[in-house]
Amino acid sequence: MVEIAPLQVPLKRRRQTFSVFLWASFLPICLSLLSICVIVPLFWPLLIFYLIWAYFDTAPRTGARRSDWIRNLRCWRWFVNFFPIRVVKEADLDPKHNYLFGYHPHGIIAVGAWGAFGTEGAQISKIFPGLNIRLLTLDTNFNVPFYRDLLMAFGLASVAKESCNNILQKGPGNSCMIVVGGASESLTSFPGTYDLILKKRYGFVKVAMRNGARLVPVLSFGETDVYDQVEAKTGTWLKKIQRKIQEIFGFTTPIAIGRGIFVYDFGILPRRRPIHVVVGKPIEVKRIDNPTNEEAEVYHQQYMNSLKEIFEKYKDQYASDRKSELRFVE
């Protein structure tokens, strides 16, 4: 039977669910607004002007137009407390330096990264005072009218190499966070698992080396638990379609199953399951303008070892019901 949400739900929990629904509605709201502008001739001049301006706008690659007012809205505390999302700090980070954070695992949509670093719901600015951390996402997201501006208001920027360099070169304390596994890793996201796509991903290490930024491994316990997923086995038509979509658009489409507003068994909202975001100790890297794979591999291995140490230290505390250990699958 379908499990229906009870009528007598505390106001606190209703507010938390509302905040998650609002977050999940960002893209549909922006697409609806765009549709209205296309349908109503009165808005055409403004729409044309906006599209031309957006085409030449470089803000997504500079980390501009962040709004601390929007990031600090009370509803994002409700969002964080819905799961809840908690940040665990292993070491203080000196704001005199720049940092490149790597977030793992991607999960279906990196909910923990959004809650902890895309808003002030978890009070990240108080946990790491003096740091201006930009959560990075695909360039594709900044091609969607209105949605692009909303993302930038939350401090998000493009994950393109140019964007990373621009942010890390702004001065002390300016840092960025990359969800390293990307779209490919979302297809390996199943509750209780910690399968990371990292073995051959040297790009983020090279960016850190070029800019003299310290690498900070971040392991999120529970990120893969908030959605179930229909497994697409290798060789099946579903797997082939998902891979083809990823090749064309840069992102993929896992068939995720969450919860709804009034039902608990299915829907687009993530489930109420705790997420503990452990921010590891920084890894100091040598600044090299054009690092080779061999030079990057030294720090890449240190980074992977740090992730293993974090997992071993906290797995019984935050992932006691896990189905597998931490694995580097690709």
How far apart are alpha carbons 191 and 181 in whole angstroms?
17
What is the pLDDT of the chain when averaged over all its residues? Answer: 94
Look-up of token digits 């796509």: 197
Does pLDDT of 101 surpass 80? yes
pLDDT of residue 63: 86
The percent of residues in the chain predicted with pLDDT above 90, rounded, is 82
pLDDT of residue 105: 97
Look-up of token digits 């960002």: 26
The alpha carbons of the chain give a radius of gyration, in whole angstroms, of 20
How far apart are alpha carbons 126 and 134 in whole angstroms?
15
Give long-range contacts, CB 8 A cutoff, 24+ apart: 27-33. Answer: 27/144, 27/147, 30/144, 30/145, 30/146, 30/147, 30/150, 31/144, 31/147, 33/146
pLDDT of residue 241: 81
pLDDT of residue 242: 77
137-193 confidence digits (pLDDT tens): 999 999 999 999 999 999 999 999 999 999 999 999 999 999 999 888 988 899 999
Does pLDDT of 87 surpass 70? yes
pLDDT tier for residue 2 given thresholds of 50, 70 and 90: low
10-19 confidence digits (pLDDT tens): 899 999 999 9
Does pLDDT of 1 surpass 70? no
Tell me the mean pLDDT in the region 102-131: 97
| SS3 of residue 158 by DSSP | strand
Can you list the domains of the chain with their CATH numbers?
11-328 (3.40.1130)
246-278 confidence digits (pLDDT tens): 777 766 778 899 998 888 788 999 999 999 999
Does pLDDT of 110 surpass 80? yes
How far apart are alpha carbons 99 and 92 in whole angstroms?
12
Look-up of token digits 């000196």: 94
* Neighbouring C-beta atoms of residue 155, cutoff 10 Å: 22
- The number of angstroms, rounded, from the C-alpha of 94 to the middle of its chain's C-alpha atoms is 23
Minimal CA–CA distance to 224: which of 128, 90, 318, 154? 318
Cβ(22)–Cβ(75) below 8 Å: yes
